[in-house]
Each structure stands twice: as C-alpha cells, then as structure tokens.
Amino acid sequence: MSRLVHKLRQRVQIQKPVDTPNDNGGYDRTYTTLDTIWMGMKSKRKVMIVRESQVEWLDQGTHEFIARNCAVSKALGTGFSDGFSTGFDSIANLNPLTSELFLFMQRGSTTKGKRFRIKRMDDWEERREYYLIDAEFIEEVGTGANV
C-alpha cells in the first residue's frame, strides 16, 4: 500500500446524491459535488475465506482509494476526531466521509469518469495522515460504456 502514498494522481470528486421525485412515481438521482481532491487508487482482488466445508467471499469494495486527511477535512470539515468512527463497515455520521457519499474519479473532464460507493474508511497506519477508503464500483459516466 505504501506505493500509493506518493501517487495521489487521480482527481476525485466527493459527491452527495440528490433524489428528486419524478412524474412516474419514482425518483431521479443526480449528484452534487462537495469538493474535488487528489487521491490514489488501485483495484482490489476478491478475498475468499474457506472454513471447513463453507466458502465465503469477504465483502470488500472493488477499489481502494487513499487521500490525505487534511484534504478531506478541509473539504468536508471535522466535527469530531476520527477515532469515533473509522474502521467500521457501517460508517457513522461523525466521520467526514460517510457511506451516503460517493467518489467520482474524473477521466479527461469533470463529467466523464467512474462513480464509486464508499463502503469503509480507515485511518491508514493510524497516523491520522491518510485515509484508506474501500469503495465499490457503481457506474461509468459520460463515456458511452454500458456497464
């Protein structure tokens, strides 16, 4: 993981979903960008756990992001210290990056890229310098790809 620390080369938007009622009785989802920061990213492999005769896939995200704590705190504010909420699969609302937020990794412009749902967040190496974020790929936007 240390190879990502110096490679914060991806422009990533932190986004909040906005659901607006439509005429069909459903909702149309759009996203509001809260801020754009530099992050590192790498794909993850699925982890399989075998216990006796049971096989279980560990529920992790599809990608791993790393961001500087100061960039996230500046973008979203810090109401409480990180110790109250990091390291849990269901992220508490005390954390600056909650499970209701999305990451949008830009590709060439601010409207093209890939969107990820935040699944988990940890204080990387417990130094309060970097956040390690597990995220799940949701969709590709603006590139014409059908995913």
Q: How far apart are CA 96 and CA 85, in angstroms?
A: 9
Cut 0.75: pTM above it: no
State how many domains the chain has: 1
147 inside domain = no
133 inside domain = yes
C-alpha separations of 97 from 109, 135, 144 in Å: 23, 11, 29
12 inside domain = yes
What is the domain range of residue 15? 2-141
Q: How far apart are CA 85 and CA 64, in angstroms?
A: 18
Q: For every one of its 147 residues, what pLDDT tens digit does the chain have, with 9 covering 90 and above?
A: 444 455 888 999 999 999 999 999 899 999 999 889 999 998 876 666 667 776 665 556 688 898 888 787 776 765 434 444 444 444 444 456 677 889 999 988 888 999 999 888 887 777 778 888 889 899 898 866 554
16 inside domain = yes
55 inside domain = yes
77 inside domain = yes
The CATH number given to whatever domain includes residue 26 is: 2.40.10
90 inside domain = yes
- Predicted local distance difference test score (pLDDT) of residue 91: 43
Q: In this structure, are residues 135 and 116 in contact, taking their beta carbons and an 8 Å threshold? A: yes
Q: How far apart are CA 10 and CA 106, in angstroms?
A: 7
